[in-house]
Structure formats: structure tokens, C-alpha cells
Amino acid sequence: MATRAFGNPGRGIASAGLARDSLATRAARGDEARELFRRAAAAALLAAMAAGSVALWAAVPIGVLWLVSQLSASLTPTPGIVVVVAVAIPAAVLLGAQALVRVERAYMRVTDTAPSAPRVHGWRRSLSDSSVSGPATVLEKMMLASALLALAALVVWFFSFAGSSLPT
């Protein structure tokens, strides 16, 4: 009885042509896995930018006020406490904004959308340069949306929940 020259491809012993096909299949699977990882990383970075944008307007000032209240011995605000709050909140917001810019840069690297030329942000351009500017970045759009959300929440709170401080 004659034996076959090539084994059963289903059992792992295959001809040279089938081995090349399996390498191509493995490479395609690797490309799919890298693409899936890239999309997951981009989604996680977008979520971090969204959460950070909202936190910049809400959590940072509330956190600084809470921290200063825990460090203060008296219940009445003194001029020193007011100065600490007036310096600490903008400083914390600047640190948070720097962190958001780093997250945006990581997002641009992951999605391969890094600008080729240095970009002047919208808030630093003059009105006459507005026609030259490119589209807003993802972070700029998120910051605008979170600022509008914070403003809307302030208006709702002020007119619905704040109550009147006038004597009745």
C-alpha cells in the first residue's frame, strides 16, 4: 500500500503552499488585533478627555474648596483662606488642562491624526485669522461642550434650587 507524500493539512502537516497561507492568516489576525486595540485605546482616551473636561469645571473647584475647608481651623473664611482658594483653583485648573493636552496628544498619536504643522489654537488667534484656521480639535470641542454644560447647570441651579437670599 502506498503512503501519501503529504500529511493531512487538518492535522498540522501541510505543504509549503498551505504553510504560507497560514502565515498570511496569522498576519491578518495580528493586524485585526492591533486595529481592535487601537480603537479601544482611542475610545478610552476619548472617555478620559470627556471626563477630564467635565471635571475641570466641576470636580476641580469643588475638590479645592473641600481640601481648603479640611485644612482650615475656623468655619469663617479669613483673608488668607480666600487668597489660598483664589490661587489654588486656577492652579489646579491649569494642571488639569495640561493633563488634558497630554491625553489629546496621545489620542492623536493613536489615531494618527497629528497635525503636520504647528497649530495655533482658536483662543489664541485673532478674528482676522479665523478663515485660515483648520477644524477644531477633539479636545476643543469637548471643552466647549463641557463649558456649555456647566453654564446650563449653573443657570438651572440658580433659578430652580438656589432660593432667595432676600428676607421675606
pLDDT at 118: 66
Which DSSP string do the residues of the chain spell out, in sequence order?
Answer: -PPPSS--GGGT---HHHHHHHHHHHHHHHHHHHHHHHHHHHHHHHHHHHHHHHHHHTHHHHHHHHHHHHH-SSSSPPHHHHHHHHHHHHHHHHHHHHHHHHHHHHHHHHHT---SS----GGGS-GGGTTT--PPPHHHHHHHHHHHHHHHHHHHIIIIIS---S--
Scored b (16 or more CB within 10 A) or e, 77-89 reads eeeebeebbeebb
Tens-place pLDDT, residues 78-118: 898 899 999 999 999 999 999 999 999 999 999 988 766 66
- pLDDT above 70 as % of the chain: 76
Q: Where are the domains of the chain?
A: 33-112+137-157
pLDDT mean across residues, the chain: 81
pLDDT at 131: 57
pLDDT at 90: 95
**In whole angstroms, what is the distance from residue 81 CA to residue 69 CA?**
9
Kindly state the cell numbers that stand for 75.
Answer: 468655619
Q: What is the mean pLDDT of residues 127-153?
A: 81
Please state the length of the chain: 168
Distance between alpha carbon 165 and the CA centroid of its chain, in Å? 39
Q: To 10 degrees, the CA torsion angle through 64, 53, 125, 90? A: 0
Tens-place pLDDT, residues 45-56: 999 999 999 999
pLDDT at 71: 85
Q: How far is CA 103 from CA 118, 134, 146, in A?
A: 18, 20, 16
Of the listed ranges 6-15, 52-61, 66-75, 119-128, the least confidently predicted one is 6-15
Kindly state the cell numbers that stand for 162.
Answer: 438656589
The whole model's pTM is what? 0.68
